[in-house]
């Protein structure tokens, strides 16, 4: 496994909620888990540090990052450009796939399965960006969503039902796409991302 693959594997683990903000990563344990040398792992850590997913502190080690309010706002500003843009100018979005994701989120929300709602929400936004037809944007979205997961883990401590709030918005976006109103869907998504960024930044302050 090369350093890029190590970084991708750890990015996926962060997105899946396997690590918590502020958690120290045991270099020996992580290297053994991934089956790589410590040198390769350190190269992967360097890539994640550049992404803002980990903090490397001299003489202390490597820690999962804890997003600040300013970083949360920055993340949402980026998403408010990328995701509506994918809806507006990308290939035709897979509305059926988005519909299924929202339906799963609605069931999970009704049953109180917050972790499943969170995963469905991530899948929804990944599918939107996939409409752009760009491998480069898909890779960038992986980076953004890994950092977003750290935001959510931080904010969920004070807003445990956070992800359920997004389900009606996602349903509305699907309904607009069903009618062919991509501009309306993009605007609804942009407005939601801007509002959520402001709200989460305040909660994390």
Residues spanned by the domain of 28: 3-64
- Per the CB < 8 A criterion, the answer to whether 11 and 25 are in contact is no
Same domain, yes or no, for 44 and 82?
no
Task: Quote the percentage of the chain above a pLDDT of 90.
Answer: 49
Same domain, yes or no, for 89 and 131?
yes
Residue 17 has pLDDT above 80, yes or no: no
Q: What is the DSSP string of the chain?
A: --HHHHHHHHHHHHHTT-S-TTPEE-HHHHHHHHT--HHHHHHHHHHHHHHTSEEEETTTEEEE----HHHHHHHHHHHHHHHHHHHHHSSPP-HHHHHHHHHHHHHHHHTT-HHHHHHHHHHHHHHHHHTT--HHHHHHHHHHHHHHHHHHHHHTTT-TTGGGGGHHHHHHHHHHHHTT-HHHHHHHHHHHHHHHHHHHHHHH-
Q: State the pLDDT confidence band at 152, using cuts at 50, 70 and 90.
A: confident
Q: First-to-last CA distance in the chain?
A: 39
Q: What integer pLDDT is reported at residue 1 of this predicted model? A: 60
Same domain, yes or no, for 77 and 12?
no
Same domain, yes or no, for 54 and 84?
no
Cα 7 from Cα 178, distance rounded (Å) = 37
Cα 105 from Cα 161, distance rounded (Å) = 13
Q: What integer pLDDT is reported at residue 83 of this predicted model? A: 96
Q: What is the mean pLDDT of residues 186-192?
A: 97
The count of domains in the chain is 2
Q: What integer pLDDT is reported at residue 162 of this predicted model? A: 77
Same domain, yes or no, for 47 and 77?
no
pLDDT, tens digit, 9 for 90 and up, residues 51-68:
888 899 988 999 998 888
User: For position 47, which CATH number holds?
Assistant: 1.10.10.10
């Amino acid at each position: 496994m090369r350093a890029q693959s190590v970084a991708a594997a750890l990015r996926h683990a962060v997105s899946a909620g396997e690590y918590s903000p502020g958690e120290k990563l045991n270099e020996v344990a992580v290297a053994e888990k991934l089956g790589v040398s410590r040198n390769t792992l350190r190269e992967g850590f360097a890539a994640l540090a550049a992404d803002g997913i980990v903090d490397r502190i001299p003489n202390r080690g490597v820690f999962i990052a804890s997003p600040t309010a300013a970083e949360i706002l920055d993340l949402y500003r980026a998403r408010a450009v990328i995701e509506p843009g994918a809806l507006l100018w990308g290939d035709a979005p897979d509305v059926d796939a988005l519909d299924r994701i929202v339906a799963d989120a609605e069931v999970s929300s009704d049953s109180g399965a917050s972790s499943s709602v969170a995963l469905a929400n991530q899948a929804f936004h990944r599918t939107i960006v996939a409409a752009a037809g760009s491998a480069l944007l898909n890779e960038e979205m992986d980076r953004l969503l890994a950092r977003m997961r750290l935001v959510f883990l931080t904010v969920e401590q004070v807003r445990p039902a956070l992800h359920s709030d997004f389900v009606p918005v996602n349903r509305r976006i699907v309904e607009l796409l069903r009618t062919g109103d991509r501009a309306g869907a993009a605007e609804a998504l942009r407005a939601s991302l801007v509002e959520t960024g402001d709200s989460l930044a305040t909660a994390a302050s």
